[in-house]
Structure 1
Amino acid sequence: MTQNPSQERDRAGPMAPAGRGRRALLLGAAALPFLARRAAAAELVVFSSGGLNAAYLTLVPAFQQQTGHSLVSVQASSMGAAPDAIPQRLGRGEPADVLLLASGGLEPLAARGLILPDSRVDIARSLIGMCVRAGAPKPDISSVDAFRQALLNASSIAYSASASGVYIENEMYRRLGIHEQVMPKSRRILSERVASVVARGEAEIGFQQVSEILFVEGAAYVGTIPEPVQLPTIFCAAIPAKAREPEAARALIRFLASPEAAPALERTGLEPLNRG
Protein backbone atom coordinates (compact mmCIF):
# COMPACT_ATOMS: atom_id res chain seq x y z
CA MET A 1 0.00 0.00 0.00
CA THR A 2 1.30 3.44 -0.93
CA GLN A 3 2.09 5.61 2.07
CA ASN A 4 1.10 9.24 2.25
CA PRO A 5 4.27 11.44 2.34
CA SER A 6 2.99 13.06 5.49
CA GLN A 7 2.68 9.63 7.07
CA GLU A 8 6.31 8.92 6.13
CA ARG A 9 7.34 12.19 7.79
CA ASP A 10 5.26 11.35 10.85
CA ARG A 11 6.92 7.94 11.11
CA ALA A 12 10.43 9.38 10.62
CA GLY A 13 9.84 12.33 12.93
CA PRO A 14 9.91 10.49 16.27
CA MET A 15 13.05 8.59 15.19
CA ALA A 16 15.20 11.70 14.54
CA PRO A 17 15.71 12.86 18.12
CA ALA A 18 16.77 9.34 19.12
CA GLY A 19 19.34 9.32 16.27
CA ARG A 20 20.70 12.66 17.37
CA GLY A 21 20.88 11.39 20.95
CA ARG A 22 22.90 8.34 19.90
CA ARG A 23 25.29 10.53 17.90
CA ALA A 24 25.73 12.86 20.88
CA LEU A 25 26.40 9.90 23.14
CA LEU A 26 29.05 8.56 20.77
CA LEU A 27 30.72 11.97 20.49
CA GLY A 28 30.70 12.32 24.25
CA ALA A 29 32.30 8.90 24.68
CA ALA A 30 35.01 9.79 22.18
CA ALA A 31 35.81 12.93 24.16
CA LEU A 32 36.12 11.14 27.51
CA PRO A 33 39.87 10.30 27.26
CA PHE A 34 40.67 13.93 26.43
CA LEU A 35 38.51 15.21 29.26
CA ALA A 36 40.10 12.73 31.64
CA ARG A 37 43.56 13.98 30.71
CA ARG A 38 42.44 17.56 31.26
CA ALA A 39 40.87 16.69 34.60
CA ALA A 40 44.07 14.95 35.71
CA ALA A 41 46.26 17.97 34.92
CA ALA A 42 47.47 19.67 38.07
CA GLU A 43 49.13 22.96 38.96
CA LEU A 44 52.19 22.36 41.12
CA VAL A 45 53.90 24.99 43.25
CA VAL A 46 57.62 24.21 43.37
CA PHE A 47 60.01 25.80 45.88
CA SER A 48 63.44 25.48 44.24
CA SER A 49 66.73 26.39 45.92
CA GLY A 50 69.52 27.94 43.91
CA GLY A 51 71.68 24.83 43.56
CA LEU A 52 69.05 23.00 41.50
CA ASN A 53 67.20 25.95 40.08
CA ALA A 54 69.07 26.40 36.79
CA ALA A 55 68.70 22.73 35.83
CA TYR A 56 65.11 22.56 37.04
CA LEU A 57 64.04 25.58 34.97
CA THR A 58 65.50 24.08 31.79
CA LEU A 59 63.49 20.89 32.43
CA VAL A 60 60.14 22.57 33.15
CA PRO A 61 58.93 22.77 29.50
CA ALA A 62 59.58 19.07 28.82
CA PHE A 63 57.76 17.96 31.96
CA GLN A 64 54.78 20.20 31.27
CA GLN A 65 54.53 18.97 27.69
CA GLN A 66 54.78 15.30 28.66
CA THR A 67 52.28 15.40 31.53
CA GLY A 68 49.94 18.34 30.99
CA HIS A 69 50.74 19.55 34.50
CA SER A 70 51.71 23.20 34.96
CA LEU A 71 54.46 24.36 37.32
CA VAL A 72 54.57 27.54 39.37
CA SER A 73 58.25 28.03 40.19
CA VAL A 74 59.36 29.89 43.33
CA GLN A 75 63.06 30.38 43.99
CA ALA A 76 63.92 29.94 47.68
CA SER A 77 67.05 29.09 49.64
CA SER A 78 67.35 25.72 51.35
CA MET A 79 67.83 27.11 54.85
CA GLY A 80 68.39 30.24 56.85
CA ALA A 81 66.35 33.09 58.29
CA ALA A 82 65.82 35.10 55.10
CA PRO A 83 62.12 35.75 54.45
CA ASP A 84 62.24 33.81 51.18
CA ALA A 85 63.99 30.73 52.65
CA ILE A 86 62.05 27.49 52.40
CA PRO A 87 61.72 27.02 56.20
CA GLN A 88 60.34 30.55 56.53
CA ARG A 89 57.91 30.10 53.66
CA LEU A 90 56.58 26.83 55.05
CA GLY A 91 56.43 28.33 58.52
CA ARG A 92 54.15 31.08 57.18
CA GLY A 93 51.90 28.45 55.67
CA GLU A 94 52.75 29.22 52.04
CA PRO A 95 51.42 26.40 49.83
CA ALA A 96 53.92 24.14 48.07
CA ASP A 97 53.75 20.75 46.35
CA VAL A 98 57.46 20.04 45.74
CA LEU A 99 60.62 21.17 47.51
CA LEU A 100 64.00 21.12 45.76
CA LEU A 101 66.73 21.81 48.29
CA ALA A 102 69.97 20.76 49.95
CA SER A 103 69.66 17.68 52.14
CA GLY A 104 70.90 19.65 55.14
CA GLY A 105 67.90 21.92 54.82
CA LEU A 106 65.46 19.05 54.43
CA GLU A 107 66.35 17.18 57.60
CA PRO A 108 65.11 19.87 60.06
CA LEU A 109 61.86 20.16 58.08
CA ALA A 110 61.34 16.41 58.30
CA ALA A 111 61.98 16.52 62.04
CA ARG A 112 59.22 19.13 62.37
CA GLY A 113 56.76 16.91 60.49
CA LEU A 114 56.60 19.26 57.51
CA ILE A 115 57.56 16.59 54.94
CA LEU A 116 55.63 13.54 53.78
CA PRO A 117 57.43 10.46 55.13
CA ASP A 118 59.52 8.57 52.55
CA SER A 119 59.03 11.29 49.91
CA ARG A 120 62.73 12.29 49.76
CA VAL A 121 64.56 11.48 46.51
CA ASP A 122 68.22 12.43 46.02
CA ILE A 123 68.84 14.05 42.63
CA ALA A 124 72.37 15.46 42.31
CA ARG A 125 75.68 16.07 44.03
CA SER A 126 77.08 19.60 44.11
CA LEU A 127 80.41 21.21 45.02
CA ILE A 128 81.31 24.65 46.34
CA GLY A 129 82.91 26.92 43.77
CA MET A 130 84.68 30.26 43.83
CA CYS A 131 84.16 33.28 41.58
CA VAL A 132 85.63 36.70 40.91
CA ARG A 133 84.44 39.64 38.86
CA ALA A 134 84.76 39.10 35.10
CA GLY A 135 88.15 40.37 33.93
CA ALA A 136 89.73 40.27 37.39
CA PRO A 137 92.76 38.04 38.05
CA LYS A 138 91.81 34.52 39.14
CA PRO A 139 93.61 33.49 42.35
CA ASP A 140 95.44 30.19 42.56
CA ILE A 141 93.29 27.79 44.58
CA SER A 142 94.87 24.56 43.34
CA SER A 143 96.09 23.54 46.80
CA VAL A 144 95.00 24.11 50.38
CA ASP A 145 97.98 26.41 51.04
CA ALA A 146 97.33 28.48 47.91
CA PHE A 147 93.63 28.65 48.75
CA ARG A 148 94.36 29.82 52.31
CA GLN A 149 96.63 32.55 50.98
CA ALA A 150 94.02 33.67 48.44
CA LEU A 151 91.53 34.16 51.26
CA LEU A 152 94.04 36.09 53.35
CA ASN A 153 94.91 38.31 50.37
CA ALA A 154 91.31 39.09 49.40
CA SER A 155 90.01 42.49 50.43
CA SER A 156 86.42 41.21 50.75
CA ILE A 157 84.63 37.86 50.61
CA ALA A 158 80.98 37.00 49.97
CA TYR A 159 79.32 33.69 50.75
CA SER A 160 75.85 32.19 50.61
CA ALA A 161 73.37 32.24 53.48
CA SER A 162 72.39 28.68 52.56
CA ALA A 163 74.17 25.31 52.87
CA SER A 164 77.61 26.24 51.47
CA GLY A 165 77.77 29.48 53.44
CA VAL A 166 76.83 27.84 56.72
CA TYR A 167 79.73 25.44 56.22
CA ILE A 168 82.19 28.19 55.24
CA GLU A 169 81.33 30.37 58.23
CA ASN A 170 81.13 27.64 60.85
CA GLU A 171 83.72 25.11 59.67
CA MET A 172 85.90 25.88 56.63
CA TYR A 173 87.55 29.04 57.93
CA ARG A 174 88.33 27.27 61.20
CA ARG A 175 89.77 24.22 59.45
CA LEU A 176 92.06 26.55 57.50
CA GLY A 177 93.08 28.28 60.74
CA ILE A 178 92.12 31.76 59.49
CA HIS A 179 88.67 32.32 60.99
CA GLU A 180 89.70 35.38 63.00
CA GLN A 181 91.50 36.99 60.06
CA VAL A 182 88.85 36.55 57.37
CA MET A 183 85.48 36.72 59.16
CA PRO A 184 85.64 40.52 59.60
CA LYS A 185 85.92 40.98 55.82
CA SER A 186 83.35 38.29 54.96
CA ARG A 187 79.70 38.97 54.20
CA ARG A 188 76.75 36.58 54.14
CA ILE A 189 74.48 37.21 51.15
CA LEU A 190 70.73 36.92 51.65
CA SER A 191 68.15 36.38 48.89
CA GLU A 192 70.61 36.91 46.01
CA ARG A 193 73.26 35.02 44.09
CA VAL A 194 76.72 35.58 45.53
CA ALA A 195 78.11 35.84 42.00
CA SER A 196 75.80 38.80 41.31
CA VAL A 197 77.31 40.64 44.28
CA VAL A 198 80.81 39.86 43.02
CA ALA A 199 79.87 40.93 39.48
CA ARG A 200 78.87 44.37 40.83
CA GLY A 201 82.25 44.72 42.52
CA GLU A 202 80.82 44.56 46.03
CA ALA A 203 83.09 41.65 46.97
CA GLU A 204 86.44 40.58 45.54
CA ILE A 205 85.76 36.84 45.74
CA GLY A 206 82.64 34.79 46.36
CA PHE A 207 81.64 31.25 47.24
CA GLN A 208 78.51 29.33 46.33
CA GLN A 209 77.44 26.07 44.70
CA VAL A 210 79.02 25.82 41.23
CA SER A 211 75.58 25.64 39.60
CA GLU A 212 74.76 29.04 41.12
CA ILE A 213 77.87 30.70 39.69
CA LEU A 214 78.19 29.47 36.11
CA PHE A 215 75.47 31.51 34.43
CA VAL A 216 75.74 34.83 36.27
CA GLU A 217 76.71 37.58 33.84
CA GLY A 218 79.68 39.65 34.96
CA ALA A 219 81.15 36.94 37.19
CA ALA A 220 83.99 34.56 36.31
CA TYR A 221 84.15 31.04 37.68
CA VAL A 222 87.54 30.23 39.23
CA GLY A 223 87.00 26.56 40.13
CA THR A 224 85.98 24.30 42.98
CA ILE A 225 87.65 24.77 46.34
CA PRO A 226 90.34 22.17 47.23
CA GLU A 227 89.10 18.68 48.03
CA PRO A 228 90.46 18.56 51.63
CA VAL A 229 88.22 21.50 52.60
CA GLN A 230 85.40 20.80 50.14
CA LEU A 231 81.88 19.95 51.30
CA PRO A 232 79.83 18.05 48.72
CA THR A 233 76.13 18.77 49.02
CA ILE A 234 73.34 16.41 48.01
CA PHE A 235 70.39 18.17 46.46
CA CYS A 236 67.12 16.35 46.82
CA ALA A 237 63.39 16.63 46.29
CA ALA A 238 60.59 16.06 48.77
CA ILE A 239 56.87 16.61 49.15
CA PRO A 240 55.51 18.89 51.90
CA ALA A 241 53.07 17.31 54.33
CA LYS A 242 50.33 19.72 53.21
CA ALA A 243 50.90 19.33 49.45
CA ARG A 244 47.68 19.68 47.47
CA GLU A 245 48.85 17.54 44.53
CA PRO A 246 51.02 14.73 45.96
CA GLU A 247 50.60 12.34 43.01
CA ALA A 248 51.57 14.94 40.43
CA ALA A 249 54.41 15.96 42.75
CA ARG A 250 55.73 12.40 42.69
CA ALA A 251 55.64 12.45 38.89
CA LEU A 252 57.78 15.60 38.81
CA ILE A 253 60.28 14.15 41.27
CA ARG A 254 60.58 10.93 39.24
CA PHE A 255 61.25 13.03 36.15
CA LEU A 256 63.93 15.18 37.81
CA ALA A 257 65.69 12.07 39.13
CA SER A 258 65.50 10.19 35.83
CA PRO A 259 68.30 9.61 33.29
CA GLU A 260 66.37 11.94 30.96
CA ALA A 261 67.15 14.85 33.28
CA ALA A 262 70.83 13.99 33.76
CA PRO A 263 72.23 16.06 30.83
CA ALA A 264 70.56 19.23 32.11
CA LEU A 265 71.99 18.64 35.57
CA GLU A 266 75.48 18.15 34.16
CA ARG A 267 75.29 21.30 32.01
CA THR A 268 74.58 23.37 35.12
CA GLY A 269 77.55 22.07 37.11
CA LEU A 270 75.85 19.25 39.01
CA GLU A 271 76.67 15.54 39.21
CA PRO A 272 73.49 13.50 38.51
CA LEU A 273 72.95 10.60 40.87
CA ASN A 274 71.03 8.59 38.24
CA ARG A 275 72.53 8.46 34.79
CA GLY A 276 70.68 5.25 33.92
Structure 2
Amino acid sequence: MERATTHRLGVIVSGGFWEPYQALLPEFVRDTGIAVETLSGASQGTGPKTIGWQLEHGARIDVVVLSREGLDELAAGGRIRAGSDMPLARAALAAAVRLGAPKPDIRTRDAFRQTLLDAGTVVMPGSTSGLFVRDVVFPRLGITDRVRAKVLPRGTDSTAALAAGEADLALGPVSELVGQPGIELVGPLPDAVQLVQVFTAAIVDTAHRIAEARRLIAFLASSRAAAAIRRFGMEPAGASAKPA
Protein backbone atom coordinates (compact mmCIF):
# COMPACT_ATOMS: atom_id res chain seq x y z
CA MET A 1 0.00 0.00 0.00
CA GLU A 2 1.29 3.44 -0.92
CA ARG A 3 2.00 5.66 2.09
CA ALA A 4 2.49 9.37 2.54
CA THR A 5 6.08 10.26 3.34
CA THR A 6 6.96 12.05 6.58
CA HIS A 7 7.81 15.37 4.91
CA ARG A 8 4.54 15.65 3.01
CA LEU A 9 1.04 16.48 4.14
CA GLY A 10 -0.86 13.19 3.97
CA VAL A 11 -4.44 13.41 2.73
CA ILE A 12 -7.02 10.74 1.99
CA VAL A 13 -10.14 11.68 0.01
CA SER A 14 -13.33 9.77 -0.77
CA GLY A 15 -14.76 9.53 -4.26
CA GLY A 16 -17.50 12.08 -3.65
CA PHE A 17 -15.02 14.92 -3.26
CA TRP A 18 -12.20 13.51 -5.39
CA GLU A 19 -12.78 15.49 -8.57
CA PRO A 20 -13.01 18.98 -7.01
CA TYR A 21 -10.07 18.14 -4.75
CA GLN A 22 -7.93 17.17 -7.74
CA ALA A 23 -8.92 20.39 -9.50
CA LEU A 24 -8.05 22.53 -6.46
CA LEU A 25 -4.89 20.87 -5.18
CA PRO A 26 -2.42 22.42 -7.69
CA GLU A 27 -3.49 25.93 -6.64
CA PHE A 28 -3.02 25.11 -2.95
CA VAL A 29 0.43 23.63 -3.52
CA ARG A 30 1.48 26.53 -5.73
CA ASP A 31 0.33 29.17 -3.25
CA THR A 32 1.60 27.56 -0.06
CA GLY A 33 4.60 25.48 -1.14
CA ILE A 34 3.24 22.62 0.98
CA ALA A 35 3.93 19.22 -0.56
CA VAL A 36 0.92 16.92 -0.47
CA GLU A 37 0.57 13.20 -0.99
CA THR A 38 -2.97 11.98 -1.58
CA LEU A 39 -4.60 8.58 -1.20
CA SER A 40 -8.19 7.67 -2.01
CA GLY A 41 -10.69 5.57 -0.11
CA ALA A 42 -14.38 4.92 0.42
CA SER A 43 -16.14 6.82 3.21
CA GLN A 44 -17.85 3.71 4.57
CA GLY A 45 -18.03 0.01 3.96
CA THR A 46 -15.56 -2.79 4.51
CA GLY A 47 -12.23 -3.89 3.09
CA PRO A 48 -8.94 -2.31 2.04
CA LYS A 49 -10.50 0.32 -0.23
CA THR A 50 -12.10 2.14 2.70
CA ILE A 51 -10.58 5.12 4.49
CA GLY A 52 -11.07 3.45 7.87
CA TRP A 53 -9.18 0.32 6.85
CA GLN A 54 -6.25 2.32 5.48
CA LEU A 55 -6.00 4.36 8.70
CA GLU A 56 -6.10 1.21 10.79
CA HIS A 57 -3.37 -0.41 8.68
CA GLY A 58 -0.77 2.32 8.95
CA ALA A 59 -1.43 4.90 6.26
CA ARG A 60 0.29 8.12 7.39
CA ILE A 61 -2.57 10.58 7.05
CA ASP A 62 -3.05 14.08 8.42
CA VAL A 63 -6.35 15.05 6.75
CA VAL A 64 -9.40 13.02 5.79
CA VAL A 65 -12.14 14.20 3.42
CA LEU A 66 -15.23 12.02 3.34
CA SER A 67 -18.97 11.89 3.91
CA ARG A 68 -20.25 13.09 7.28
CA GLU A 69 -21.55 9.58 7.94
CA GLY A 70 -18.09 8.12 7.45
CA LEU A 71 -16.47 10.87 9.50
CA ASP A 72 -18.84 10.21 12.38
CA GLU A 73 -17.73 6.56 12.37
CA LEU A 74 -14.06 7.58 12.51
CA ALA A 75 -14.77 10.09 15.28
CA ALA A 76 -16.62 7.45 17.31
CA GLY A 77 -13.50 5.30 17.06
CA GLY A 78 -11.31 8.12 18.37
CA ARG A 79 -9.54 8.68 15.05
CA ILE A 80 -10.40 12.40 14.56
CA ARG A 81 -8.93 15.45 16.31
CA ALA A 82 -11.77 17.08 18.27
CA GLY A 83 -13.13 20.30 16.78
CA SER A 84 -11.17 19.98 13.53
CA ASP A 85 -14.04 19.02 11.22
CA MET A 86 -15.22 21.42 8.52
CA PRO A 87 -18.04 20.82 5.97
CA LEU A 88 -16.89 21.44 2.41
CA ALA A 89 -19.65 20.49 -0.02
CA ARG A 90 -23.10 18.96 -0.33
CA ALA A 91 -23.84 16.37 -3.02
CA ALA A 92 -27.24 14.92 -3.88
CA LEU A 93 -27.75 11.36 -5.06
CA ALA A 94 -28.16 11.05 -8.81
CA ALA A 95 -28.43 8.51 -11.61
CA ALA A 96 -26.46 8.01 -14.81
CA VAL A 97 -26.71 5.90 -17.96
CA ARG A 98 -24.22 4.81 -20.57
CA LEU A 99 -23.35 7.57 -23.03
CA GLY A 100 -25.94 7.65 -25.83
CA ALA A 101 -28.46 5.45 -24.02
CA PRO A 102 -32.02 6.72 -23.54
CA LYS A 103 -32.49 8.60 -20.29
CA PRO A 104 -35.16 6.99 -18.10
CA ASP A 105 -37.74 8.91 -16.10
CA ILE A 106 -36.64 9.33 -12.48
CA ARG A 107 -38.50 12.58 -11.72
CA THR A 108 -40.97 11.08 -9.24
CA ARG A 109 -40.91 8.32 -6.66
CA ASP A 110 -43.10 6.04 -8.78
CA ALA A 111 -41.18 6.76 -12.00
CA PHE A 112 -37.87 6.04 -10.29
CA ARG A 113 -39.27 2.82 -8.82
CA GLN A 114 -40.35 1.63 -12.26
CA THR A 115 -36.97 2.59 -13.77
CA LEU A 116 -35.22 0.44 -11.17
CA LEU A 117 -37.53 -2.49 -11.91
CA ASP A 118 -37.00 -2.12 -15.67
CA ALA A 119 -33.21 -1.84 -15.48
CA GLY A 120 -31.17 -4.90 -16.34
CA THR A 121 -28.48 -4.17 -13.73
CA VAL A 122 -28.11 -1.26 -11.31
CA VAL A 123 -24.65 -0.49 -9.89
CA MET A 124 -23.67 1.64 -6.92
CA PRO A 125 -20.67 2.10 -4.66
CA GLY A 126 -20.34 0.12 -1.43
CA SER A 127 -19.98 3.31 0.56
CA THR A 128 -22.43 5.82 2.07
CA SER A 129 -24.60 6.32 -1.03
CA GLY A 130 -24.80 2.69 -2.09
CA LEU A 131 -25.49 1.49 1.44
CA PHE A 132 -28.31 4.04 1.71
CA VAL A 133 -29.85 2.92 -1.59
CA ARG A 134 -29.60 -0.76 -0.70
CA ASP A 135 -30.67 -0.53 2.94
CA VAL A 136 -33.14 2.37 2.86
CA VAL A 137 -34.35 3.18 -0.66
CA PHE A 138 -35.04 -0.35 -1.93
CA PRO A 139 -37.02 -1.32 1.20
CA ARG A 140 -38.86 2.03 1.14
CA LEU A 141 -39.93 1.33 -2.44
CA GLY A 142 -40.79 -2.30 -1.67
CA ILE A 143 -38.43 -3.70 -4.31
CA THR A 144 -35.55 -5.15 -2.29
CA ASP A 145 -35.75 -8.57 -3.91
CA ARG A 146 -36.83 -7.33 -7.34
CA VAL A 147 -33.88 -5.18 -8.42
CA ARG A 148 -30.80 -6.65 -10.06
CA ALA A 149 -28.29 -4.58 -8.15
CA LYS A 150 -24.53 -4.81 -7.71
CA VAL A 151 -22.72 -3.00 -4.92
CA LEU A 152 -19.14 -2.38 -6.06
CA PRO A 153 -16.25 -1.16 -3.86
CA ARG A 154 -15.96 2.38 -5.25
CA GLY A 155 -17.90 4.86 -7.34
CA THR A 156 -15.28 4.58 -10.08
CA ASP A 157 -15.98 0.84 -10.24
CA SER A 158 -19.67 1.60 -10.78
CA THR A 159 -19.12 4.15 -13.53
CA ALA A 160 -16.57 1.91 -15.27
CA ALA A 161 -19.05 -0.97 -15.25
CA LEU A 162 -21.75 1.29 -16.67
CA ALA A 163 -19.47 2.64 -19.41
CA ALA A 164 -18.41 -0.91 -20.33
CA GLY A 165 -22.00 -2.03 -20.83
CA GLU A 166 -22.00 -4.24 -17.74
CA ALA A 167 -24.85 -2.26 -16.18
CA ASP A 168 -27.77 -0.13 -17.30
CA LEU A 169 -27.98 2.41 -14.48
CA ALA A 170 -25.50 3.79 -11.95
CA LEU A 171 -26.50 5.51 -8.72
CA GLY A 172 -24.28 7.63 -6.50
CA PRO A 173 -23.35 11.16 -5.47
CA VAL A 174 -23.70 13.53 -8.41
CA SER A 175 -20.03 14.46 -8.05
CA GLU A 176 -19.02 10.87 -8.86
CA LEU A 177 -21.13 10.82 -12.03
CA VAL A 178 -20.49 14.22 -13.63
CA GLY A 179 -17.88 14.19 -16.37
CA GLN A 180 -16.96 10.52 -16.10
CA PRO A 181 -15.98 8.88 -19.41
CA GLY A 182 -18.55 6.84 -21.25
CA ILE A 183 -21.54 7.80 -19.11
CA GLU A 184 -24.14 10.55 -19.00
CA LEU A 185 -25.93 12.11 -16.04
CA VAL A 186 -29.69 11.60 -15.91
CA GLY A 187 -30.35 13.85 -12.92
CA PRO A 188 -30.94 13.83 -9.16
CA LEU A 189 -33.10 11.24 -7.46
CA PRO A 190 -36.56 12.39 -6.35
CA ASP A 191 -36.91 13.91 -2.89
CA ALA A 192 -38.69 10.86 -1.46
CA VAL A 193 -35.55 8.74 -1.86
CA GLN A 194 -32.89 11.45 -1.74
CA LEU A 195 -29.81 11.63 0.48
CA VAL A 196 -27.73 14.79 0.39
CA GLN A 197 -24.25 13.92 1.62
CA VAL A 198 -22.09 16.54 3.28
CA PHE A 199 -18.45 15.92 2.43
CA THR A 200 -16.36 17.05 5.35
CA ALA A 201 -12.66 17.50 6.09
CA ALA A 202 -11.02 16.82 9.45
CA ILE A 203 -7.62 16.26 11.02
CA VAL A 204 -6.66 12.75 12.09
CA ASP A 205 -5.82 12.21 15.75
CA THR A 206 -2.31 11.01 14.87
CA ALA A 207 -1.57 13.91 12.45
CA HIS A 208 1.98 15.28 12.46
CA ARG A 209 1.47 18.35 10.26
CA ILE A 210 -1.40 20.04 12.03
CA ALA A 211 -0.69 23.62 10.93
CA GLU A 212 -0.47 22.57 7.28
CA ALA A 213 -3.60 20.44 7.68
CA ARG A 214 -5.52 23.46 8.96
CA ARG A 215 -4.36 25.52 5.98
CA LEU A 216 -5.56 22.91 3.51
CA ILE A 217 -8.95 22.56 5.18
CA ALA A 218 -9.40 26.34 5.30
CA PHE A 219 -8.56 26.56 1.58
CA LEU A 220 -11.01 23.80 0.62
CA ALA A 221 -13.75 25.53 2.64
CA SER A 222 -13.04 28.99 1.22
CA SER A 223 -14.73 30.94 -1.54
CA ARG A 224 -11.74 30.14 -3.78
CA ALA A 225 -12.89 26.52 -3.88
CA ALA A 226 -16.55 27.23 -4.64
CA ALA A 227 -16.36 27.27 -8.45
CA ALA A 228 -14.59 23.91 -8.65
CA ILE A 229 -17.09 22.39 -6.23
CA ARG A 230 -20.04 23.62 -8.29
CA ARG A 231 -18.46 22.37 -11.51
CA PHE A 232 -18.97 18.82 -10.29
CA GLY A 233 -22.61 19.26 -9.34
CA MET A 234 -22.05 19.98 -5.64
CA GLU A 235 -22.90 22.99 -3.50
CA PRO A 236 -20.25 24.60 -1.29
CA ALA A 237 -20.88 24.04 2.41
CA GLY A 238 -17.79 25.63 3.93
CA ALA A 239 -18.25 28.48 6.37
CA SER A 240 -16.30 30.85 4.13
CA ALA A 241 -17.32 29.44 0.75
CA LYS A 242 -20.31 31.71 0.18
CA PRO A 243 -19.87 35.05 -1.53
CA ALA A 244 -19.88 38.05 0.82
User: What is residue 127 of structure 2 aligned with on the other side?
Assistant: 162
Match of 1:228 among 184, 192, 211: 192
Q: Deviations over 1:239-276 (max 9, x none)?
A: 11111101100000000000111001000111002313
Q: Is 2:91 the counterpart of 1:104?
A: no
User: What is residue 91 of structure 1 aligned with on the other side?
Assistant: 56
Q: Deviations over 1:181-207 (max 9, x none)?
A: 11xx11001145121110011111110
Q: Which structure 2 residues correspond to residues 1-276 of structure 1 after superposition, within 5 A?
A: 43-182=8-147, 185-193=148-156, 194-273=158-237, 274-276=241-243
In 1, the alpha carbon distance for the partners of 2:76 and 2:40 equals 23
Q: Deviations over 1:66-102 (max 9, x none)?
A: 1110111111111111312100001112110110000
Higher mean alpha-carbon deviation, 165-174 vs 78-87, is at 78-87
Query: Runs of 5+ in structure 2 lacking a partner?
Result: 1-6
SS of match in other structure, 1:171: helix
Higher mean alpha-carbon deviation, 186-195 vs 165-174, is at 186-195
Which letter maps to 1:224?
P
In 2, the alpha carbon distance for the partners of 1:53 and 1:150 equals 28
In 1, the alpha carbon distance for the partners of 2:155 and 2:123 equals 11
- Deviation of 1:138 after TM superposition, in Å, equals 0.9
TM-score normalised by structure 2 residue count: 0.93
TM-score normalised by structure 1 residue count: 0.82
Identity %: 38
Larger radius of gyration: 1
In 2, the alpha carbon distance for the partners of 1:208 and 1:233 equals 10
Query: Contact (CA 8 Å) 1:82, 1:191: kept in 2 or not?
Result: no
Q: Deviations over 1:219-258 (max 9, x none)?
A: 1111111011101111000011111101100000000000
Query: Contact (CA 8 Å) 1:103, 1:234: kept in 2 or not?
Result: yes
In 1, the alpha carbon distance for the partners of 2:209 and 2:190 equals 42
In 1, the alpha carbon distance for the partners of 2:120 and 2:232 equals 29
**Cα gap change, 1:221 to 1:48, in 2 (>3 Å):** same
In 2, the alpha carbon distance for the partners of 1:207 and 1:69 equals 36
Query: Contact (CA 8 Å) 2:81, 2:203: kept in 1 or not?
Result: yes
Which letter maps to 1:262?
A
SS of match in other structure, 1:236: strand
In 2, the alpha carbon distance for the partners of 1:192 and 1:128 equals 12
SS of match in other structure, 2:165: coil
Query: Runs of 5+ in structure 1 lacking a partner?
Result: 1-41
Could you list the structure 1 runs, at least 4 aligned residues long, displaced by more than 2 angstroms after superposition.
none
Residue correspondences, number: 233
In 2, the alpha carbon distance for the partners of 1:191 and 1:260 equals 28
In 2, the alpha carbon distance for the partners of 1:254 and 1:269 equals 21
